[in-house]
Structure 1
Amino acid sequence: MADFQSSTIIHKPVKEVFDYLLTLENIPEIMPNVVRLEKLSEEPIGKGTKLLETRSIRGREAKAEIEITEFEPYQYYTTQSVAGGITITYRYFLDEIEEGTQVRFEANVGIKGLFSFFSRRALVKILKQEDGYLLQYLKEELEKKEAVPQI
C-alpha cells in the first residue's frame, strides 16, 4: 500500500503526457521544490537511467541521486532514490481512456533504523506536502496549452 497517492484525468493523449513527464526541464513546473533535474547517464531515458535531483528544502539545496528502476514507455515508470537508510519510490501509471489519459501516482518511503517509525511518518508528511499535488500541477500545465482565448 502506498504512503500517499493521487490520480487524475488529463485531456491529452498518453504519449503527450508521458513525454512531458520525462522531459527533465518540465519537472520544476510540476514539482515546485525541485530546482533542477539532470541526467547522469548517457543512454536515452529508460530503465537504469540515473538522475541528479536538486531540491530546495527550507531555503537550502539538497541533492539526491535517483534511478529509473522500471520503465514501460507510455504505460508506467518507477523512480527510486536511496540515501542514508532512506528509500523513496515514486511510481507513475498512465492509461489511455476515452477522455484522454488516466494518470496515477504512488509514493512509498522506507527507512531503516531505530527511530524509523517516527522519522518515516515525518518524512512521508513532508514529501506529501511537497509532491502530493504533482498530478494536479501536471494537469494544469498540459491543459493550459489548449486554453487559447477566443476572439
Structure 2
Amino acid sequence: MTRVRGSVEIARPVEEVFDFVADLRNEVRYNPRMTDSVKLTEGPIGVGTRFRATVLSHGRSLPVAIECTGFDRPHRMSSHSVMTGAEVDGVVRCRSVPGGTRFSWDWDVSVAGPAKLAAPVIGWLGRRQERAIWTGMQNLLESQGEPS
C-alpha cells in the first residue's frame, strides 16, 4: 500500500471549497487527466453517492468507479475508488483558516500484480500528480472573483 497526502490553502470559504470538491463532476474542470465524470445516483451528494469517471493513464482511457463512503459537510468526505489494477481509499478535509480554507487529501493506494514492486515510484508520482490536481482546483476557485 502506498500513501499519498498533502494540502493547499485556498482563498475561498470552507463551504464553497467543500461543495465544489464533493461534486466530482467538477473535477474535469481542473484535472487535465480526467476526461469525464458522471453522477450515477439520484439525490444530493452524501454517503452512497456513486460516480463513474474516465482518466487518462499512459495514453489510455481508464474507467474509475467512485463511491462516497463518508460525508460530514463541510469538513470531511471519504471515498473508495476502483480501477483496473488499483483501489484507492481516501479522505479530503476542509478546515477554516484565516483567509480561506486549508484543503487536505490523504489516499491509501493499493496496487495489484507486478505494479506492487513499483510502489515507491507510484507514491512519488501520485504525490506530484495530486499536488498538481489540487493546485489546479485552487487556481480555478481563486480565479472566480469575490467569495460567495
What is the TM-score of this pair, normalised by structure 2? 0.83
Structure 1 stretch 121-130 or stretch 137-146: which is displaced more? 121-130
What is the TM-score of this pair, normalised by structure 1? 0.82
Q: Distance in 2 between matches of 1:25 and 1:84?
A: 21
Q: Which amino acid aligns with 2:3?
A: D
RMSD: 2.4
Decide whether aligned partners of structure 1 residues 32 and 26 sit closer, same or farther in structure 2, where only a CA change above 3 A counts: same
Q: Distance in 1 between matches of 2:83 and 2:62?
A: 12
Indicate if the aligned counterparts of 1:6 and 1:135 stay in contact, CA closer than 8 A: no
Decide whether aligned partners of structure 1 residues 71 and 145 sit closer, same or farther in structure 2, where only a CA change above 3 A counts: same
Indicate if the aligned counterparts of 1:67 and 1:80 stay in contact, CA closer than 8 A: yes
Structure 1 stretch 117-126 or stretch 38-47: which is displaced more? 117-126
Provide the residue aligned with 2:141 in structure 1.
142
Structure 1 portions without partners, runs of 5+: none
1:1-150 alignment runs, 5 A limit: 3-83=3-83, 86-111=86-111, 115=114, 117-146=116-145
Structure 2 portions without partners, runs of 5+: none
Q: Which amino acid aligns with 2:127?
A: K
Q: Which amino acid aligns with 2:40?
A: L
Identity of aligned residues (%): 25
Aligned length: 146
Q: Distance in 1 between matches of 2:21 and 2:55?
A: 17
Moved segments of 4+, more than 6 Å: none
Q: Distance in 2 between matches of 1:117 and 1:54?
A: 23
